[in-house]
Structure 1
Amino acid sequence: MILTNKVAVVTGAGRGLGLAYARALAAAGAAVVVNDVDAEAAAAAVREIAGAGGRAVAEVSAVGGTQAAEALVARAVEDFGRLDVMVTNAGVLRDRVLWKMTDEDFDTVVEVHLRGTFTCARAAANRMREQGGGGRIIVAGSPAGQRGNFGQTNYAAAKAGIAAMVRTWSMELAKAGITANAVIPVAATAMTKTMPAFAPHIEALEQHGVPLPDALRKGEGFGTPEDVAPLVVFLASDAAAGVTGQCVGIGGDKLALWSHPREVSVAYADGGWSAEAIAAAWPVSVGRAPETVGL
């Protein structure tokens, strides 16, 4: 897992998962462009990486639009000469149930997560194709995007869209040797700290250094950001050259591969289906074991 001579951009890298990714990539030898909307957090991350012997620079911007994405790629090229790895981690939450979610709630989350992933991946792909030698696009998915989550119409939709984009990019970028994969993390972050089941354990970890119990690390696949970071290093490495178009889950002691959407039950009717025929067939054929939803 040696990334010497590789250059990576990590968005939302001032804290949490993004910071863990930036640290791990730098520790493996990569030069890292640390992006965050919080200038102080980005600068602190760069100081920490440099203090550990790594190479990093800060690029402060709000991910979403094309200008910010292209500036991130330009910074990598200007400071380190190339771009090999784009990690899109930046995100925000605006949780509301459907009937209370505003246009602004929806648009803000989609702008940062979905559009920000698209613009950063596009800018990275353009540079990687131009310089040759392949590359790695590693994006942030979520269990909410795989299964839905109460109160997260915007977030779940964005994350589901990201998974679909990864599958598409894996085909479009294959000829250029560029892989595209989604990490599906489950970790102690500011977001999961709001969940009652996880909150007391995260608080005990942060305030008293109490390790997460096996019931979480193994039973729920729930761990720390540092548990997730090795997957990003692997996907950025030459060892993962043949891994693309995948949604890979990781958390605590658990590593998993998420399935792609596919038909799980099929029925046929000569001449096609009437509404009445569907109603009669549903409970005894395709609808006999409906898919579950939620986390």
Structure 2
Amino acid sequence: MDLTGKVAIVTGSGRGLGLAYARELAAAGAKVVVNDVDAATAEAAAKEITDAGGTAVAEVAAVGRTEAAEALVARAVDEFGRLDVLVTNAGVLRDKVLWKMSDDDFDTVIDVHLRGTFTCARAAVRRMREQGEGGRLILIGSPAGQRGNFGQTNYSAAKAGIVGFARTWAMELERANITVNAVIPVAATAMTETIPALKPYVDALRAGEPMPPFARTALAFGTPEDAAGLVAFLASDAASGVTGQAIGIGGDRLSLWSHPQQVVAAYADGGWRPGAIAEAWPTTVGAQLQTVGENLPEPPAA
């Protein structure tokens, strides 16, 4: 996968998945703007990439504000002369159940994930359209945005909105040859260790133990590096015809998420009154109610 001559911004790339994406893009030949809210973390990530033979600079910014987005794009252009790829990975967690979630808990997560994706994409697209050579927006989603997750009102809503961005922007940017896709990763990070079913695998990985086959296949759970190949693919010319999609990656599994669609419909002449709905519900629409949340399989017995 050759990305020589391409310039990429990866938000929230000081550690975890974001750093894995930045390393993979740089290894493929792209010049990368690394971003983190912490200066030491951002500089360390950029140094790691350059020490490995890649090209990277650090830009410290708290993603969310328009000024931060414009600063990231300006850094890419000032350092490398152009912008071809944006990966919107920056994120935070403020997990609480609905009745305990504060306005600040909600706003902080929405500002970084949802508003940050919007402001960074807007700034990047303005530059890409000015260049007139197309581009790539790679928006990082989550299974929580696809299925919901207990205690993640803010995060689930933001990640669902990000996939909505991908579908809408894919249509708006088609004529400019800018593709837009959402990546739905699952990997051992500080975020996933908060999920009880996954924490033992995160702990094992940190202890230097190999990820068991059950985790890599049935749970699609692996390392951040396992998810990075998809980002490099989507940034490449090989993915020029892929847009508007939500693509899952994790462990040994690559998958495609469906767009929401009607699964069943019922009709009544003149429309539906409450009593008619109640009578028809059990055998029509109500017979195919959808589940919520991630239904993770149980590990095999030892």
Alignment of 1:70-81 (within 5 A): 70-81=70-81
Residue 189 of structure 1: SS of its match in structure 2?
A: coil
Match of 2:277 in 1: 278
1:193 CA displacement: 1.3
Match of 1:36 in 2: 36
Match of 1:225 in 2: 224
1:196 CA displacement: 2.2
Q: Distance in 2 between matches of 1:109 and 1:164?
A: 17
Residue 49 of structure 2: SS of its match in structure 1?
A: helix
Match of 2:299 in 1: none
Alignment of 1:106-145 (within 5 A): 106-145=106-145
Alignment of 1:135-284 (within 5 A): 135-207=135-207, 209-284=208-283
2:293 partner amino acid: G
1:195 CA displacement: 2.1
Residue 184 of structure 2: SS of its match in structure 1?
A: strand
Match of 1:291 in 2: 290
Instruction: Output the TM-score relative to the length of structure 2.
Output: 0.96
1:200 CA displacement: 2.2
1:109 partner amino acid: V
Q: Distance in 2 between matches of 1:156 and 1:225?
A: 20
1:194 CA displacement: 2.1
Structure 1: which 4+ aligned runs deviate by more than 3 Å?
none
Q: Distance in 2 between matches of 1:116 and 1:140?
A: 12
Instruction: Output the TM-score relative to the length of structure 1.
Output: 0.99
Match of 1:11 in 2: 11
Aligned length, in residue pairs? 294
Match of 2:22 in 1: 22
Q: Distance in 1 between matches of 2:177 and 2:199?
A: 42
Residue 288 of structure 1: SS of its match in structure 2?
A: helix
Q: Distance in 2 between matches of 1:181 and 1:169?
A: 9
1:66-109 CA-partner distances (Å, limit 9, x unpaired):
00001000000000000000000000000010111111110000
Match of 2:88 in 1: 88
How high is the sequence identity, in percent, across the aligned residues?
Answer: 72
CA RMSD of aligned residues (A): 0.6
1:216-252 CA-partner distances (Å, limit 9, x unpaired):
0001111110000000000000000000000000000
Q: Distance in 2 between matches of 1:71 and 1:82?
A: 14
Q: Distance in 1 between matches of 2:201 and 2:160?
A: 28
1:194-220 CA-partner distances (Å, limit 9, x unpaired):
22222222222112x211101100011
1:287 CA displacement: 1.1
Match of 2:300 in 1: none
Q: Distance in 1 between matches of 2:75 and 2:226?
A: 28
2:215 partner amino acid: L
Unaligned runs of 5+ in 2: 295-302
1:215 partner amino acid: F
Match of 2:297 in 1: none
1:65 maps to 2:65: yes
Unaligned runs of 5+ in 1: none
1:285 partner amino acid: T
1:55 partner amino acid: T
1:66 partner amino acid: T
